[in-house]
Structure 1
Amino acid sequence: MLFDTHVHLNVEHFDQDREEVIERAKEAGVEKMVVVGFDHETIPKAIALAEEYSFLYAAVGWHPVDAIDFTEKELDWLEELVKHPKVVALGEMGLDYHWDKSPKEIQAEVFRQQIRLAKKVEIPIIIHNREATEDILTILKEEHAEAVGGIMHCYNDSVDYVQTCLDLNFYISLGGPVTFKNAKLPKEVAKVVPLDRLLIETDCPFLAPHPNRGKRNEPAYVSLVAEKIAELRGVPVEEIEQATTENGKRLFRLDH
């Protein structure tokens, strides 16, 4: 019983064997997945997959790297899409200071617009953060994002920020990096996040967990994330699997 809360099965990396990848996930015990769309191409594909498979759900949002391409038209489009019964979150959204395609001030404005939309339609948000933690937390506070809460996707920050995220009504989601031998931060976080606020993900096709690091990631590998967290916390893996699955269902308001 596993819930991969962040997959990109809607990207070209899976065009040749998507059905087989989904089947392998089911065989590995993955009972639910959220397919995340982040631009014009991937958002419709996320919804199409959610429509095709009963156990797949969609999240729709605008990635900060492409914030410069975001207009009122895209905002209206997202507002229409979140009415879809299989869309369970708005995102991924946030700030990315690693790439320089979109200026920081434009990223911030697009981020704020999406938070305001999420509050308007009362749906949780998924946060993408790359080298921008302080600014993200500032914006979340200023926009009162705690009203909807959501996920700190693929959390790879200091434990010092965990409580602030929890206070803002966010879950902490850990992925492949928690299994990396040289990744200290996610391992420390895995030990301290309250069990009722923990989620797991693959972010596939990216960030494949050990021993598959460097290869294409896929949802079946989320079991490796759960196993490593269980090891770090000194608890049975079943405890992590059950808790993170129930947490995902609660956040996304899934009653089955």
Structure 2
Amino acid sequence: MAFPFLWQIIMSLSTNAEVQSVVPTFWPAEIQWENYATVFERLPFLSQLRTSIVITIIRCIAQIALCTLAGYAFARMHFRGRALVLALVLSILMIPSQVYLISQYQIVQGFGWLNTIAGIVAPGLFSAFGTFLMRTAFLNLPTELEEAARLDGASPVRTFWSVMLPLALPSISVLAITSALWSWNELLWPLVISTYQEQMPLAAGLATLVSDKSNTNYPVIMAASMMAMAPILILFIVLQRRVIDGLAFSGLK
């Protein structure tokens, strides 16, 4: 698993001729650090990095808030049509996102959100997977905890906030990390909604580097990819234990 990552590093430090040579070059004759500097000439990298960070933060906060509330409602509250509504929410997981791409574009266009962060963020504020994850997490918690809270006079809101939510933190961590990974790597929707490089996130910005296939500079693309993946890779390495614990806690495999 480490070989593709190491090979990407080697390619980012090589010349374009060495990358495209028929006989593989396992180490460059001279390390090309200037490939990383060229990225800033070919892309508004810092602007796209800022856009990716803002999009990721907004989506993580929104999904944690909405999916946690929805998951708790489906797991613990009894209301008419609960099973039907849950089935409709989960059915989103079975529909490819490309099916409703045109409809989403028309809605965003109607709001005047083309080439804006709001337009990129809007479709990802809620997650059917996140709702399913949090519902499973709350179902695994003992009902006796809620009963004890009610006997102590706690309201449903207080029970959720002070008793159930802290116990579901492992699953919330999984939701936050998966949401961050998905938002950071999303490609198709930002390419559709953004036409200016300055408004694109990093994933879409990297795609513009290969638009001219006759003059593709592969080392620069690899260098840009390395810099783009570094923040989210560091985040995952630091929090990978929380991901494993959260998946084990929620019962997902």
Shorter-chain TM-score tier: under 0.3
Larger radius of gyration: 2
Greater share of strand residues, 1 or 2? 1
- Of Structure 1 and Structure 2, the greater helix share is in 2
Provide TM-score, normalisation by structure 1.
0.23
TM-score, scaled relative to structure 2: 0.24
